[in-house]
Structure 1
Amino acid sequence: MVLQRLLERVEKTGELDRAGDPLQRGVRATLPRRLKDLLHGVGLGHPLHPVAVQLPVGAWMSTAVLDALPGTERAATILVGVGTAAALPAAAAGVTDWSEQSREQRRVGLVHAGANMIALGFYAGSFAARLSGNHRLGRTLAYTGLAAAGLGAYVGGHLSFRQAAAVNQAEPYLRQIDDGWHDVYGWDELTENRPEVARIGEVPVLITRVGDKVTVMMERCAHQTGPLGDGEITEIGGAACVVCPWHGSTFRLADGAVVRGPSANDQPLLRSRVVDGRVQAALP
């Protein structure tokens, strides 16, 4: 609970923005769009960062086990080196996600990144010590690095499970829709390639007409609940897509698939049909 209260204070600490805001602008301006989409995890089905961290964390945890056993110095040295090298692309994916998060999330993200950078520094020192033959120092530095990485993991959990960073923000809206078909819009009232917004109960949904096809999806963007109803319809790769006006996440209308980040999650799509001139929608 002490750590939780500290992180709640971090969320409100505006002084962190002095470092965070320039870094955010730098990441956004430096990385090309295709690389950012790759690091976000576009096409993967969810963010890349939690996948990428498995290798360094697994290598470092395995090192901790080997360091407690005799005669495992060579294997432990290899694992420390692998984990240290693998931490770099994992960090790149993390900072790319961080650059598109809300201000409060970015403040906590700085603490998460700081703890992990400290861990990386200890493991780099451990690797150097082991290469020089000082395995005792290498073990000490590795265990210290593991403690820092554990702290970073706790802060990362706060980001994911308390602040809902990088999760599909649109998915919970599905839980508010009852089973069965719902009348949402008149077919003749739809203008081709112009998004319209309707509601199923209290849930806003986006209705779009492209040719003789209609699409109904969650209207709040999966990334940060931006209003897709205020977005534009564009064509990418021959497919009609909607672009979120807040951060530019782009979703294919035909199936809700994300084609451009920062969202790495697809936009939830509803089943749709036209009956007696009325568009109807139901849970997938």
Structure 2
Amino acid sequence: MKPLPLLNLVSRLEDSAWLDPWVTRVKGTVNSVVPFPWLRDVLHGVPLGHPVHPLAVQIPLGAWTSAAVLDAVPGNERAAGILIGVGAIAAVPSAVAGFTDWSELHEQQQRVGLVHAAANIAATGLYIASLVERSRGRQSRGKLLGYLGFATVGAGGFLGGHLTYRQAAGVNHSEDVPHRFPVGWHTLAPLNELAEGELEKRTVAGMPLLVFREGQVVHVLSDVCSHLSGPLHEGKLDERGEACVICPWHGSVFELRTGEVRGGPATAGQPRFSTRIEEGVVEVSLPGAG
């Protein structure tokens, strides 16, 4: 089966450079509205281990879908209005979380994401207008605006699906590491070749690894940032109680000893490799590999 022609139109958004000035303006606004790192981490979903936005959108989408059903059945105008209001209120925190994630994406993702956000804002505006018309007793106009809002939020949802499943925004970019790394112990490097206290990149079985040596202890993580595949060995060291690495692309922070996230936008930790030293040679193994 061939893809819908609509898909080609959406794909063109990825290369629509004319959107970039708007991206810059909106990104600046988002950064000024959400300036605190701890708040950005909460909105990214660091405590949850995955983005907040996909979870938060369930409330307005569910409320608006239910309102659309009730509007098709006579005598449910009041209930439909209540649901539309609930959806409009819930759309605000969902949008804040979404814009926070969006501000840390690649430029092609941001272009699609900006149109996705515009569609959802337009849909929310239509629903608010629907509520105004309903409050004035114009139920037919209110229903029409509600269905227009439902169609618009559906278009925004299609763009959101493209952003997530075609452009891989918000997904764990190191999830496949255990599936591609071979089982067992593998040679990394002689211990005396590894620099003390520095970030290094080594490749084992075709897999790029981040290596950090502390005396006789060697810490090894996947070198591919779980946020958007940034090369961690090009990042910087940071002390947050424990030695951490800061991703050079979007500033995600990971603890070198455990791979756990210490700061977003990443929400998934880095795969951590076990290490041992045999006759002066460092070997690595990945738990759950294969």
Q: What range describes the TM-score normalised by the shorter chain of this pair?
A: over 0.9
Map 1:272-283 → 2, pairs under 5 A? 272-283=275-286
Partner of 1:166: 170
Partner of 1:145: 149
More displaced stretch, 25-34 vs 253-262: 25-34
Partner of 1:270: 273
Runs of 4+ in 1 over 4 A off after TM superposition: none
Residue 275 of structure 2 aligns to a residue in which SS? strand
Q: For residues 169-217 of structure 1, what are the alpha-carbon distances to aligned partners after superposition, in whole Å with 9 as ceiling and x for unaligned?
A: 2223433211222111333433443222111122100122346543211
Say which of 224, 239, 242 aligns to 2:242.
239
Say which of 16, 19, 36 aligns to 2:19.
16
Map 1:121-200 → 2, pairs under 5 A? 121-200=125-204
Change (3 A) 1:51 1:273: farther
Work out whether 1:249 is the aligned partner of 2:252: yes
Contact 1:193 1:233 in 2 (8 A): no
Mapped to 1, the partners of 2:50 and 2:278 lie a distance apart of 35
Contact 2:177 2:271 in 1 (8 A): no
Residue 75 of structure 1: CA displacement? 2.0
Partner of 1:54: 58
Q: Given residue 2 of structure 1, which amino acid in structure 2 is its aligned partner?
A: P
Residue 139 of structure 1: CA displacement? 1.8
Mapped to 2, the partners of 1:223 and 1:123 lie a distance apart of 34
Q: Which runs of 5+ in 1 are unaligned?
A: none
Partner of 1:5: 8
More displaced stretch, 198-207 vs 272-281: 272-281
More displaced stretch, 143-152 vs 273-282: 273-282
Mapped to 2, the partners of 1:193 and 1:254 lie a distance apart of 13
Contact 1:116 1:152 in 2 (8 A): yes
Q: Given residue 15 of structure 1, which amino acid in structure 2 is its aligned partner?
A: W
Residue 7 of structure 1: CA displacement? 1.3
Q: Given residue 53 of structure 1, which amino acid in structure 2 is its aligned partner?
A: V
Residue 251 of structure 1: CA displacement? 0.8
Partner of 1:113: 117
Change (3 A) 1:185 1:133: farther
Contact 1:56 1:87 in 2 (8 A): yes
Percent identity reads: 47
Say which of 203, 222, 229 aligns to 2:233.
229
Partner of 1:218: 222
Residue 29 of structure 1: CA displacement? 4.3
Residue 162 of structure 1: CA displacement? 0.9
Q: For residues 118-157 of structure 1, what are the alpha-carbon distances to aligned partners after superposition, in whole Å with 9 as ceiling and x for unaligned?
A: 1111111122223333333222211111111111111111
Mapped to 1, the partners of 2:128 and 2:29 lie a distance apart of 26
Mapped to 2, the partners of 1:107 and 1:213 lie a distance apart of 44
Mapped to 1, the partners of 2:285 and 2:231 lie a distance apart of 21
Mapped to 1, the partners of 2:100 and 2:13 lie a distance apart of 20
More displaced stretch, 207-216 vs 179-188: 207-216
Change (3 A) 1:212 1:77: farther
Residue 271 of structure 1: CA displacement? 2.9
More displaced stretch, 239-248 vs 179-188: 179-188
Residue 283 of structure 1: CA displacement? 2.5
Q: Given residue 114 of structure 1, which amino acid in structure 2 is its aligned partner?
A: A
Partner of 2:76: 72
Q: Given residue 248 of structure 1, which amino acid in structure 2 is its aligned partner?
A: G
